Amino acid sequence: MQTVEISSEDVDPPDWMPDPARITAMVCRELRRDRWAVGLLLCDETRIRELNRTYRQADEPTDVLTFAAGEPSAPDDAGAGIEGDVAISIPVVERNATAWAVPVAEEFLRVYVHALLHLAGYTHDGYDLGSVDAADHPMLGLQERLVSLLDKEFFS
């Protein structure tokens, strides 16, 4: 199965958003995964805050949340698929892009790739995402390599 089902709640899909199905296909190709089923919810800060409070006990908005379908595979399990749901807050992505002075489409790529890596079994448990350069962590280094590859594919 190779599907990405996109829904939105209280936001319209932005015109700057790169195609999530194409992103997913390219990431899966790089990870040597031949099947995927991803549900992508585009939402506002209120909805993502509710999800964050319910599932992570964190009463604050965030940019992205990931919900694996079943147990995630091991990152090196090339035969496994990528399955699960992703929620992305468009307003938080837009705010973060401004704060970090990056194009908003690039920031969307970053958070969506981050979510796909979680669905593929990658973690950054115990790691403070703001503490050091992303390249210092294996998952985040891979994330930035994929974002760079995708950025060239989509915007060059």
pLDDT tier at 44, thresholds 50, 70, 90: very high
Tell me what pLDDT residue 144 has. Answer: 92
| Beta strands 82-89 and 64-68, pairing class | antiparallel
Tell me what pLDDT residue 126 has. Answer: 61
Cα 12 from Cα 3, distance rounded (Å): 21
3-state SS, residue 132: coil
In the predicted model, what is the mean pLDDT of residues 69-89?
85
Q: What is the CATH number of the domain that holds 135?
A: 3.40.390.30
Does the structure show a pLDDT above 80 at 43?
yes
Tell me what pLDDT residue 68 has. Answer: 93
Q: Which residue did the predictor score with more confidence, 74 or 59?
A: 59
Check: CB of residue 156 under 8 Å from CB of residue 111. no
Q: Which residue did the predictor score with more confidence, 10 or 155?
A: 10
Cite the beta strand spans of 26-149 per DSSP E.
36-43, 64-68, 82-89
For 21, the domain range is: 2-155
Looking at the structure of the chain, the number of domains it has is 1
Check: CB of residue 24 under 8 Å from CB of residue 57. no
Listed in sequence order, the residues at least 6 apart from 62 whose beta carbon sits closer than 8 Å to its beta carbon are 48, 49, 52, 89, 92
Check: CB of residue 88 under 8 Å from CB of residue 40. yes
Q: pTM of this prediction?
A: 0.92
* Interior angle at CA 37, CA 90 and CA 114, nearest 5: 45
